[in-house]
Structure 1
Amino acid sequence: MGGTIDVGVLPSLEASVLPAIIAIFRSRYPEVYIRVTVGLGKEIGALLRREKLDLALLYDIDGTGGRRVQVSSEALMLVGCVSQGFDHRRAVPLEALRTHKMILTSEEGDLRNKIENLR
């Protein structure tokens, strides 16, 4: 099998997850050229919808019309003062953050959009 596959990836996944995935793929399909596009979730999602990419590594696929296959997971950490009242031994659901003031990721970030939509 040969040809080119176009892959979209978030900047945060480019160095952490993508190299291992490419290595596995190349070991199975050495004749396939992998072209990588790095961009924010909205940009990568738009490219998927316009069929400019064959696949993408995203945190979420809302609105892309794509099929989700989980390739990795990560724990997110909530950093705050003890006075906020969160139990450090238990997970904090996003809904519990609704009324708290926070420093968030960039405005284009998928995680920030999820938190902003809670308000």
Structure 2
Amino acid sequence: MDLNLRDIRAFVTVANAGNFTRAAVRLHLSQPALTVQIRRLEETVGARLFDRNSRSVALTQTGRELLPLLQRSLDDMERVLRDARALGEGSSGTVRLACLPTFAASALPDLIQMFRKRVPQAQFQIRDVVASTVNALVRNEEADIGLTGGDTFDAALEVLVEGADRLVVVCPKDHALARKRRVSVSDVAASPLVLTAQGTSVRSVVDAALEQAGCAPDIACEPTYMMTAVAMVRGGLGVTILPATAREVLAERDLVARPIDDPSFVRPIALIKKRGRTLPRVAEDFVALIAKRMK
């Protein structure tokens, strides 16, 4: 017979109370029910734990030796139960999120701060990577949820929320495009372009939009990161196309962003999880918060 948490709690309570009646009251049990639990524990360990008479109860030598051991076990098991309950209720736990760098550097910090006001014990593991890697991390269960770009997903992924990022052209303040309120596709194609590398979600949208418009762009360079693209624009190598929400766009005083007058320059974004997998409660609650921001 295995040790039972209720029987251990009964033993520790009787030992501390020094009386079956007081212990029964503390445990909200009848005295006969408490006696049954003590006897069951004694049968499990194979020894008497208390010497009883009509007026008092005292630990046997075996009981005295077991008390500190079972007290520690009880404390450990109750701590595990509290932690498990907190995880189930979403009052603690870890959100494992893979996301686009644009999201990580713009909306995500505020969302985490907002969430932690409601769930102070929440922890976050953030992987800011390109869209294809976001998908792979969620598929391989290295992340529970992912904020990704593009509109192609395999059957292993489930889309929880959909949204969109409008792309803008970014150029120096003294560039000819900066004088326009809206920029046409032909204007974009006529300028040397600094585009993020092949395989990024922004590049896929830009390539498809330019091809649809029948434009053959002059690509000056293809950095991996948006920050590098902005630095190259600042250095006079051309103009770039980035999401309007990108921190790199908002933080540059010497550069301006102009909308592109073509609906094709929109990057679909989606919040995803692995199909058939149950999210931790804390991750479910964070998904709900992201969903409000994406609407």
Short-chain TM bin: 0.5 to 0.7
Query: CA offset at residue 32 of structure 1?
Result: 2.1
Structure number with the higher helix fraction is 2
Distance in 2 (CA, whole Å) between partners of 1:30 and 1:20 is 14
| Compared CA separation, residues 109 and 67, structure 1 to 2 (3 A) | same
| Compared CA separation, residues 59 and 91, structure 1 to 2 (3 A) | farther
**1:15 corresponds to which letter in structure 2?**
A
Distance in 1 (CA, whole Å) between partners of 2:200 and 2:104 is 15
Identify the residue that residue 114 of structure 1 maps to in structure 2: 205
Structure number with the higher strand fraction is 2
Cα RMSD between the aligned structures?
3.3
Moved more, 106-115 or 56-65: 56-65
Larger Rg: 2
Gaps of 5+ in 1: none
| Percent identical | 22
Identify the residue that residue 43 of structure 1 maps to in structure 2: 133
Structure 2 SS opposite 1:42: helix
Alignment coverage as a number of residue pairs: 111
1:68 paired with 2:158, answer no
Matches within 5 A, 1:17-56: 17-56=107-146
Query: Greater RCO between the two (CA within 8 Å, min separation 6)?
Result: 1
| Compared CA separation, residues 55 and 105, structure 1 to 2 (3 A) | same
Could you tell me whether the CA contact under 8 Å between 1:49 and 1:65 is conserved in 2?
Answer: no
TM-score, normalised via structure 1 length: 0.67
Distance in 2 (CA, whole Å) between partners of 1:75 and 1:102 is 14
Structure 2 SS opposite 1:107: coil
**1:37 corresponds to which letter in structure 2?**
R
| Compared CA separation, residues 29 and 47, structure 1 to 2 (3 A) | same
Distance in 2 (CA, whole Å) between partners of 1:73 and 1:114 is 11
Identify the residue that residue 89 of structure 1 maps to in structure 2: 181
Moved over 6 A (4+): none
TM-score, normalised via structure 2 length: 0.31
Distance in 2 (CA, whole Å) between partners of 1:11 and 1:78 is 18
**1:115 corresponds to which letter in structure 2?**
V
Moved more, 8-17 or 107-116: 8-17
